[in-house]
Structure 1
Amino acid sequence: MNTILGFVCERKYTGIVIVAVTIIIVLILSKKRKKSKIKTNCDKSKKAYTLEDCKSYEDLEFKIDTYQKNLRKELSKNKQIIQKAKNKGYIKANTTWTERFQELTDVSNTLYKNLEYENARKLNKDKFHRYTSLHFRSVILGNLAYKDYIDSKRVRDEIGQLLVDIGKKKVQVTAAEKKELYDVKDTCVKTTRYLYDRMIAIQSKTGELRDKIRDECGSRGKAWFDKIQKNKK
């Protein structure tokens, strides 16, 4: 009788343990699925902004300055040399910035001039969306200019190191190739400085417009300002 009772109890507790373990496993799997789903949704919400996102038909058009034109021509002449140095393994840095330098300088010039134009006058509440769009697009441009500035700086530094190695006879190149590399370095010094200065200038003008929207666009401006400040935290 005791044997039968013990057997029943054993089966009873075994069943309880199995149920408990099953519930725990289900809960763990459920949490993993939830975390996975949240991560996927976050990934989908991220957008890689491009220069196209910085453009608007509402922007006023301005002419580019002579220095900007000449710098673009100079870089255009040296792009092949930069690519050749990269193909030989002398440069490890990303060189895609050289391909979009002209477009970036065009867009940055347009945005900078529009920021300057709007900041110089009292804002019109009826153009609230125009101002917030200009602010948003200028933030994107500032980020893109920063990325290209870093890549340009790396190319400049790597070519500088290459020229040091050439001077120490660690790398052998022809006299013509050496001259080309010096020209490329000089160009990259200029592009790096230009991208840095443009990034800083646009960030400054963007911050000025942000404050003007807050102060001159009524309750919508204040609510917009509070929202972007909250999103920074």
Structure 2
Amino acid sequence: MAGETGAADEVFDGETLGASDTVKAYFGDAYDGVARYAELLRDQGELRGLIGPREVSRIWERHILNSAAVVPYLPTTGSVADIGSGAGLPGIVIAVMRPELDVILVEPMERRTTWLAEVVAELGLTNVQVKRGRAEEYHDAFEVDAVTSRAVAALSKLVRMSMPLVRMGGELVILKGRNVVQEIEPARKVLRKFSAVEPEILEGATVEGVEATTILRVRRSK
């Protein structure tokens, strides 16, 4: 990943953003894989019930770049699980951008795991496993260095679902809305249960002109 790139001399809409030099520079070597994934999502996402009809023209801004925003806060090697992976956001984007990272996509719905398996095969992602089921079903099955998710549940519920999958010393790194600070207090009891340190609220910025997203990171102390 090349990092943030200015877009002062470019004007984007939903159709041109993904093909812009700014976005190509941001993704660097990962661009071709990410662009192919965006194409698959645009062509099949609505038909297969993965995204709504209004999202088709906003795939890059609302979904691809939004998902990419979490990547700088994840390890470069080791393992990450994306729970409730759905269409593969952010898990597929993470796997393309971090090829040395083992990525586990956990998704309960069969039609979505079928889609995920097809995308993994199409993109040749050898660093991805797709597991069908709820996160809770895997609490005793594996542990990873980080668990991520996007638009899955309120923080208190998300911690109960996710933290048992996080190794001691690992992190929960999730994409959240601006109001996530309001979810912290109701989650404190369950955070203490898993020996979590004070949550951090971070800015997930990608390219100029695209709104930054909010990321919450919680470390599980050893």
- Specify the TM-score bucket, using the shorter chain as the normaliser: under 0.3
User: RCO greater where, 1 or 2, for CA within 8 Å and sep 6 or more?
Assistant: 1
TM-score by length of 2: 0.28
